[in-house]
């Protein structure tokens, strides 16, 4: 039978007192940072598990979903559920409970946050909808001087000069996606651009334009038609359907700002009798589960959603162990952790059809043969 590892075993391994080990494991002050890290390392190596019957020593962490109704992206996609899973897994491993709360733009900070700030160890803000350009939306939330606890923003780098941030490489992910389409032979593009703007989308647009310029020269961006679509699936489907109906010939490839829009595009193309990818290729972004549920499956850019959550919790945990709040973290140097993305090839992208086939319906193409 496997022996349970105790604080005494860790103390014997390191040659220190069991009391020092207990303090280090609890996260309380009283031991040096070097000793704390040695204890945590030895505990992991020996397979130490806190007693299941013990009450959590630490205050919970708060996972705060910033929701701007004029944007709605945090709630419209399932993206945040994967981030939350990563948060919960890492928090459980480190001995924290998670308190989940929404913060609604337009309502006062006091009414939404004053009851919890003294009850939590640290704050994780899902900042997908946060921007600095929406007339002060979220201004109270981002008044960093008010926080006496550490804060990490997830999925947004806009405040990376002031607070720790963890996010994906949206710019280079989109750049790699456009480069892939160009490498497959595409030279005419439709950019399904969300009407609701967030910093992640702006970075993706920048990446597309970088790729076009690098591969096709200064005039490369002229080969990309911008199509403004809503972020919600049904409205995006209608917006894309109206655009398709007005076109005599479609671009050979579409880049959708995210997978929800990509799925709406495939649905609208099928409704118009267009084949994907034979007539039009479609590229998404995020790699949500729906990408593998559609026919064709969606070629997309994979973003590491759960990893955003786990890395954010680990970063926050280190700040808590050091006793650092937002202001002391600024003095020590804020962290910006950027997760690399990767292209996932599936079946919604192919080399472009012959020019004579562009714009044909499936029925027209069949009759041509």
Whether 315 contacts 164, CB under 8 Å: yes
- Structural domains of the chain, count: 3
61 vs 48: which has the higher pLDDT: 61
In a shared domain, residues 120 and 67: yes
The torsion of the CA quartet 324, 327, 328, 334, rounded to 10 degrees, works out to: 90
Dist. CA 150–CA 318, nearest whole Å: 10
In whole angstroms, give the CA distance from residue 218 to residue 212.
8
Q: Are residues 288 and 311 in the same domain?
A: no
Do 278 and 361 fall within a single domain? yes
Contact, 141 vs 66, CB < 8 A?
yes
- Examine the domain organization and report whether 12 and 131 are in the same domain: no
Angle at which helices 18-26 and 7-14 pack, to 10 degrees? Answer: 110
> Is 253 inside a domain boundary?
yes
Domain contains 55: no
Instruction: Look up residue 350 and give its DSSP letter.
Output: -
Whole-number Å distance between alpha carbons of 97 and 91: 7
Average pLDDT of every residue of the chain: 87
Q: Is residue 284 located within the same domain as residue 321?
A: no
Residue 141 has pLDDT above 90, yes or no: no
Examine the domain organization and report whether 175 and 165 are in the same domain.
no
Within-domain flag for 56? no
pLDDT band for position 57 (cuts 50, 70, 90): low
Please tell me the predicted confidence (pLDDT) of residue 364.
40
Q: Does the pTM exceed 0.85?
A: no
pLDDT average, residue stretch 343-367: 65
One domain for residues 356 and 230: yes
Same domain, yes or no: 160 and 206: no
The CATH number of the domain holding residue 329 is 3.40.50.2300
Here the tokens at position 98 are 């998670």
**3-class SS at 259?**
helix
Note whether 224 and 94 are same-domain residues: no
C-alpha dihedral sign at 67, 71, 77, 83? negative
pLDDT score at 270: 98
At residue 71, the pLDDT reads: 63
- Domain identity same for 148 and 112: yes
Supply the range of the domain harboring residue 102.
61-169+305-340
Contact 144, 165 (CB under 8 A): no
Q: Does 240 lie in the same domain as 180? A: yes
Structure tokens given for 328: 């002391």
Radius of gyration of the chain (CA): 25
The number of CA neighbours under 13 Å toward the Cβ of 55 is: 2
């Amino acid at each position: 039978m496997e022996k349970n590892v105790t604080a005494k075993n860790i103390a014997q391994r390191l040659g220190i007192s069991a009391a020092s080990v207990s303090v280090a494991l609890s996260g309380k002050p009283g031991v040096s940072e070097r000793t704390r890290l040695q204890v945590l390392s030895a505990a992991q190596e020996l397979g130490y598990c806190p007693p299941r019957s013990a009450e959590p020593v630490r205050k919970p962490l708060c996972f705060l979903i910033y929701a701007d109704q004029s944007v709605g992206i945090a709630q419209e996609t399932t993206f945040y559920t994967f981030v939350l899973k990563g948060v919960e897994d890492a928090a459980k491993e480190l001995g924290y409970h998670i308190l989940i709360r929404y913060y609604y733009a337009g309502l006062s900070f006091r009414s939404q946050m004053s009851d919890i700030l003294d009850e939590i160890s640290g704050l994780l803000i899902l900042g997908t909808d946060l921007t600095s350009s929406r007339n002060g939306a979220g201004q109270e939330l981002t008044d960093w001087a008010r926080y006496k606890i550490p804060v990490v923003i997830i999925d947004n780098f806009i405040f990376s000069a002031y607070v720790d941030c963890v996010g994906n490489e949206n710019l280079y992910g989109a750049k790699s996606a456009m480069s892939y389409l160009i490498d497959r032979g595409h030279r005419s593009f439709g950019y399904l651009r969300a009407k609701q703007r967030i910093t992640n989308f702006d970075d993706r647009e920048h990446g597309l334009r970088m790729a076009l310029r690098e591969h096709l020269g200064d005039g490369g961006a002229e080969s990309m038609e911008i199509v403004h679509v809503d972020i919600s699936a049904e409205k995006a489907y209608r917006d894309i359907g109206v655009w398709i109906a007005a076109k005599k010939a479609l671009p050979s490839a579409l880049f959708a700002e995210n997978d929800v829009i990509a799925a709406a595009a495939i649905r609208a193309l099928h409704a118009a009798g267009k084949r994907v990818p034979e007539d039009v290729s479609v590229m998404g972004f995020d790699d949500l589960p729906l990408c593998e549920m559609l026919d064709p499956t969606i070629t997309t850019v994979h973003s590491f959603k759960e990893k955003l959550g786990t890395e954010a919790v680990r970063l926050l945990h280190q700040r808590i162990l050091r006793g650092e709040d937002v202001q002391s973290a600024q003095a020590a140097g804020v962290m910006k952790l950027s997760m690399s993305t990767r292209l996932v090839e599936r079946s919604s992208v192919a080399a472009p059809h012959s020019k004579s086939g562009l714009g044909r319906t499936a029925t027209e193409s069949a009759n041509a043969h």
